[in-house]
Amino acid sequence: MSEETAIEKIQAALTTIPYARYLGVQVVFNGDEMTGVLPFAEKLIGNPMLPAIHGGALGAFMELTAIAQLSVLQPSAKRPRTIDVSIEYLRSARPVATYARAEVKKVGRRIANVHVEAWQDRRVAPIAFLRAHFLVDPED
């Protein structure tokens, strides 16, 4: 699958998820690595006193990045379903664009284990981590 085809396929899949459309989640590919992008918008502010991006929006963005990465590795007619999610918030997410990269640790017959790292200006200064398990469609 070419890079353009993969991007188009993932973007099309993300547009079928209403919350992904609301957040404005996008994906970009750099070689064989996919990065999720959450462009900043005022509606994402959770704490206007800091200001900081709402933790729920950040968590959903990381979960969507994990689902997109799984969809790239294991194309299937069904979207992976979330079993559980654990998020570690390390620092406040400032009102700027946020990036995330997912690493699929293991895909079994029915369960996938995925880790996601989110950052803003510098990848070496992550703002949050996500660890999740997904139910994947068994191979035919």
Query: 73 CB contacts (<8 Å, ≥6 apart)?
Result: 104, 107
pLDDT surpasses 50 at 55: yes
Q: Is residue 140 part of a domain?
A: no
Q: pLDDT confidence of 32, banded at 50, 70, 90?
A: confident
What's the structural domain count of the chain?
1
Q: What is the pLDDT of residues 70-127, one digit of tens each?
A: 888 877 778 889 999 999 999 999 999 999 999 999 999 999 999 999 999 999 999 9
Length reported for the chain: 140
Measured distance CA(24)–CA(20) in Å, rounded: 6
Report yes or no on 111 lying in a domain.
yes
- In angstroms, the CA 128 to CA 59 distance is 8
- pTM for the model stands at 0.90
Residue range(s) defining the domain that contains residue 124: 3-135
Q: Note the pLDDT of residue 4.
A: 63
pLDDT at 2: 59
Q: Would you state the pLDDT for residue 33?
A: 85
CATH number (domain holding residue 33): 3.10.129.10
Q: Work out the mean pLDDT of the chain and round it to a whole number.
A: 90
Residue 19, CA distances (Å) to 23, 24, 60, 99, 131 in order: 6, 8, 8, 17, 20
Inform me whether the pLDDT recorded for 140 exceeds 70: no
